[in-house]
Amino acid sequence: MNKSFAVSIKAIFITHLMLSSIAYSQTFSDYSQVIQSPLRTEQDVKIDSTRKPLDMLKFIQPQTGMVVLDIFSGGGYTAQLMNLAVGPTGKVWAFNMRPNQALADRLQMRPQNNFIPIVGTLNELLPESSGLVDIVTIVNSYHDMVNANSEIQITNKRIYDLLKPGGILIIRDHEAKAGVGKSVTKTLHRIDPLSVVQDFESVGFKKIQEGDFVKNPADTMEEHSGKSETATQGFVFKFLKKK
């Protein structure tokens, strides 16, 4: 075997072990340490400026030992933040409707035994045997859920049922103009915030908080959220499942 190749393989193996050790043992005293974790990828850091992870963590308030479900998790940006915040005694389910290669790559290079990808349907989300969760997060993808499921209220009731009494639901998305409801979820990949509140309050949730850190008055809300030259005007809500 080529000596340089063997050294390279050894270095990768050592890095893998070091990251595994961090994943299983690290508990953070504050959210800024979560953001600085070496378990986060270069791509994570690259989009931090628009995703605002510190503001999100302070808004969500995940605690050590909590169980989290991240819906439409994609490559795991939000799920990774939450997994670091809940620590080795917590658990994060990263739900997608189909396998996500970026998420698989993340966990191959940075194995975390309490960060669990799951593939399923929106009307089931998690198997009954998984137990209840403390927090559900849906980040920039509720409009996609609406597009993917014509019976979205079945999904929303399932989310309600999966949360523990007193559990928290976080919805963040790209804002559409007031009054358009869900009519531009496919064309602009945006959604009217009022329609989101109506959807979740109709299944039993109570909206208890709104964040202002994703606002951008410069956004006309007339462009596709993925093609806008400026940061999109966003909204972020916290809903409570009553005890």
89-134 pLDDT, tens per residue?
Answer: 999 999 999 999 999 999 999 999 999 999 999 999 999 888 999 9
Ranges in the chain, pLDDT < 70: 1-29
Contact 170, 237 (CB under 8 A): yes
User: What is the pLDDT, as a whole number, of residue 129?
Assistant: 83
User: What is the pLDDT, as a whole number, of residue 25?
Assistant: 42
Contact 239, 196 (CB under 8 A): no
Instruction: Report CA-CA distances (Å) from 228 to 141, 211, 218, 219, 221.
Output: 16, 22, 11, 8, 9
Question: What domains lie within the chain, and their CATH numbers?
Answer: 3-240 (3.40.50.150)
Tell me the sheet residues that pair with 210. Answer: 237
Distance CA 161, CA 179 (A): 29
User: What is the pLDDT, as a whole number, of residue 227?
Assistant: 83
Tell me the sheet residues that pair with 211. Answer: 236
User: What is the pLDDT, as a whole number, of residue 28?
Assistant: 60
Angle subtended at Cα 62 by Cα 156 and Cα 236, rounded to the nearest 5 degrees: 50
Contact 120, 71 (CB under 8 A): no
What pTM does this model have?
0.88
Name the nearest CA neighbour of 31 among 10, 9, 60, 2: 60
User: What is the pLDDT, as a whole number, of residue 195?
Assistant: 98
User: What is the pLDDT, as a whole number, of residue 9?
Assistant: 40
